Structure 1
Amino acid sequence: VEVDVGWDVTLMMEAFGRQPGVIGNQMGLRYTPAAHPRFDFDLLVGTTYDELNTKFFTLGVTVRF
């Protein structure tokens, strides 16, 4: 799910499965500068729901050709 929150920022939320029975989710912000729409910069925080309850951060950069 993506929701525009203003200016060049989007709120992102997703759920995923890593293996049977282990699910997780992550949520964060995506910045797409209006001056350079070929680039996206993501900062997400997430967790998996397993016996360890792992938490993680994700930094991402997307470049479109």
Structure 2
Amino acid sequence: GGRTHYYAKPGVEPLTQADRFASHYPYGTQIQSFHTAFFNVCNQDNGRTWSTEWIIDDPAMYYISR
């Protein structure tokens, strides 16, 4: 327990277990309690576009208490 799992895939279909691409202990520490979350997304900042070539569509967060 205490890990963060990351999921992604092209398109807009719901994510499945097969779409998990990484599981990590954030900052190398096993999570003991959960208080806040943030999304950190950077853009291209090339003077012409305001975004990346990809988007975060319908983000979701799930928490399982044990």
TM-score range (shorter-chain normalised) is under 0.3
Q: Which has the higher helix share?
A: 2
Per the normalisation by structure 2, the TM-score is: 0.26
- From the CA coordinates, give the structure whose radius of gyration is larger: 2
Per the normalisation by structure 1, the TM-score is: 0.26
Q: Which has the higher strand share?
A: 1
